[in-house]
């Protein structure tokens, strides 16, 4: 069952931010020795989003002290990070969106304009947003994959981000999505904002996320609650 109260980052987010020392995110023991996987300093945003939502579903307050490697909470954040990637489909969706145009690609045939490929604006506004808004209308926060880069390089997947949509408001022709951004801790003023009026054209997704790149679009990620460590 969902948490009894609305998810507010100031109450339901982690007290620490998504800032970690240079260390392997995962250390696997093998017959040939230990193998280090990933780098925690690159961020555990998806793990923090999923874990914070797990605590909310359980009606628990997330721990306030940032864990060190080897502690149960750190391991849980890493496991939930991997879950947030929804391998292999989730990573494929990030990569597909990295290679899509901002607006629709069209061509003319027999005097008519034909849509050859839908862009990120259409996919975000017309496909993803109605599903996200429906959950928010029912009081259910929604994890979002935020695409920030246009690239064919797999190494650039790490430039994307994950946040948690917690509510939204409309006015002046725009939609403002309220989000929990693990990079900024317990702040209730973080948002994504867009004009839904022209989804066939490149759309500006205004934001105050802790990112040094523009947001090209966003989609809901596949989430299922897990029991968090207490």
Full DSSP string of 2-14: --SS---HHHHS-
pTM, full prediction: 0.89
How much is the average pLDDT of 90-116? Answer: 88
> In this predicted model, what pLDDT tens digit does every residue of 58-74 receive, in sequence order?
999 999 999 998 899 99
Nearest to 77 by CA among 38, 105, 110, 106: 38
Confidence of residue 2 (pLDDT cuts 50, 70, 90): low
Does the pLDDT of residue 5 top 90, yes or no?
A: no
Q: What pLDDT is recorded for position 79? A: 92
Share of the chain above pLDDT 70, in %: 89
Confidence of residue 183 (pLDDT cuts 50, 70, 90): very high
How much is the average pLDDT of 143-152? Answer: 96
């Amino acid at each position: 069952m969902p948490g009894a109260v609305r998810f507010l980052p100031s109450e339901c987010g982690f007290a620490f931010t998504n800032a970690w020392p240079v260390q392997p995110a995962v250390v696997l023991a093998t017959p040939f020795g230990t193998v280090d996987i990933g780098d925690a300093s690159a961020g555990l945003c998806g793990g923090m989003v999923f874990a914070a939502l797990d605590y909310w579903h359980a009606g628990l307050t997330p721990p306030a002290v940032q864990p060190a490697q080897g502690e149960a909470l750190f391991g849980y954040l890493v496991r939930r990070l991997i879950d947030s990637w929804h391998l292999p489909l989730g990573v494929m969706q990030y990569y597909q969106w990295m290679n899509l145009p901002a607006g629709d690609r069209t061509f003319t045939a027999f005097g008519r304009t034909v849509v050859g490929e839908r862009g990120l604006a259409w996919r975000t506004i017309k496909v993803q947003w109605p599903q996200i808004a429906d959950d928010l209308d029912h009081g259910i926060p929604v994890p979002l994959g935020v695409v920030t880069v246009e690239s064919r390089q797999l190494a650039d997947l790490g430039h994307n981000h994950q946040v948690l949509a917690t509510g939204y408001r409309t006015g002046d022709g725009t939609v403002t999505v309220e989000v929990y951004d693990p990079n900024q801790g317990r702040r209730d003023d973080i948002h994504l904002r867009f004009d839904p009026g022209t989804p066939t054209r490149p759309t500006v997704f205004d934001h105050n996320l802790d990112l040094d790149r523009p947001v090209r679009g966003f989609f809901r990620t596949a989430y299922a609650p897990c029991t968090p460590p207490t």
